[in-house]
Amino acid sequence: MNRCLQYLLLASALGGSTSTTCRAQNTPADRQVDQSIVRALKYLSARQRPSGAWQLESPSRGRGLDAASTTSLAIMAYMSAGHVPAEGPYGEQMDRGIRWVLNNQNPDGLFQHRAGSGPMYTHGICTLMLAEVAGMADATLSDRIRTSLERAIMLILRAQAVPKGRNHAGGWRYHPSSNDSDLSVTGWQLLALRAAKNIGCDVPAEAIEFAVAYVNRCSDRRGGGFSYHPDHGSSPTRTGTGILCLEICGEHHTPATMAAADYLLRRPLQYDDTFFFYGAYYCTVGMFQVGGRHWDETRSHMSSVLLARQHPDGSWNPSEGSEVSFGPIYATSMAVLALAVEYRYLPIYQR
């Protein structure tokens, strides 16, 4: 375990602030972000259920998310700050959360705690989490994760292969049987496949290429961003999704990526944008992958917006708008994932 990780674990356990980071820089602004993350993780720790789950605020209105997805997001938030299962102050909680997610996989491979609309959101998030944590768990749990991951990947591949029209081919939508696609659902599935492939899972290169082709069709050639469907208007949230999808799949600094990155500098994500916390994750991680001035400007803007909205108890809570029903566990986890990108602990963050 490196010194940076040891320090973060110790600081979090003591409830203190961090004065050293895993970054090349260590400015007062960096330390403010570190302290924000420590408070957020303490908030999440206090709200885990005895079952191991982190619950969605309003499951009946979750629009495709459920407790399996919020639990997976919380686990990834801890991982992004350098915590690992079964070790350190949060290790036992992470371990219980992972086991709870594994127990909520259907026989067909689908992750779904509560039947409802749009299970592919939850499925993609859970699959991504397992792919990221597989190499960090102990041998017994790791074997179970790998088996579960293989079944989850097969479901994603089957869903992609459902016959679709040209504009929708290669992507995913709300259900495994959907015959159309959107960039939002596609983003989670593509991240999951890329992360699984990175750890040696059997993910055909053709599946990644097929999905990348769909993402490229969502590029707005006139406005420079990315849209929810091909030939629709751009938005900052979807633009972040498109950038991250292309960057992690090897489409580094392509014309579509750089046009979208320029779009986000002209039209940065704001708190009142639709699905702000979702966008904060994708825009931040995506622009980190782009690097350079695009990352410098995004980093300054997004950390400022997020820190201004954090509550004294360490949480973020979407009190209005498109994510209000998702609640503070979702929002806090997504905010940590965005703020912790420079720690580079999550494999998906690696450039």
Query: Can you give the residue range of the structural domain that contains 9?
Result: 3-349
Give the DSSP per-residue string, 288-301. HHH-HHHHHHHHHH
If one counts the domains in the chain, the total is 1
Comparing CA positions, the residue from 38, 36, 37, 40 lying closest to residue 54 is: 40
| Residues with Cβ within 8 Å of residue 33, at least 6 apart in sequence | 303, 307, 339
CATH number at residue 254: 1.50.10.20
**Cα 144 from Cα 182, distance rounded (Å):** 31
* 19: confidence class by pLDDT, cuts 50, 70, 90: very low
pLDDT, residue 24, reads: 57
Cα separations in angstroms, 44 against 120, 269, 292, 336:
24, 25, 32, 11
Minimum mean pLDDT among 90-94, 227-231, 310-314: which range? 227-231
Sign of the torsion angle spanned by Cα atoms 231, 234, 239, 241:
negative
Q: Which two tokens stand for residue 208?
A: 């990644």
Does the pLDDT at position 18 exceed 60? no
Minimum mean pLDDT among 63-72, 91-100, 128-137, 209-218: which range? 63-72
Cα separations in angstroms, 196 against 2, 191, 282, 329:
25, 8, 19, 25
Minimum mean pLDDT among 12-16, 124-128, 139-143: which range? 12-16
| Residues with Cβ within 8 Å of residue 184, at least 6 apart in sequence | 121, 228, 238, 241, 275, 278
User: What's the whole-number average pLDDT of the chain?
Assistant: 91
Per-residue pLDDT of 182-223, as tens digits, reads: 999 999 999 999 999 999 999 999 999 999 999 999 999 888
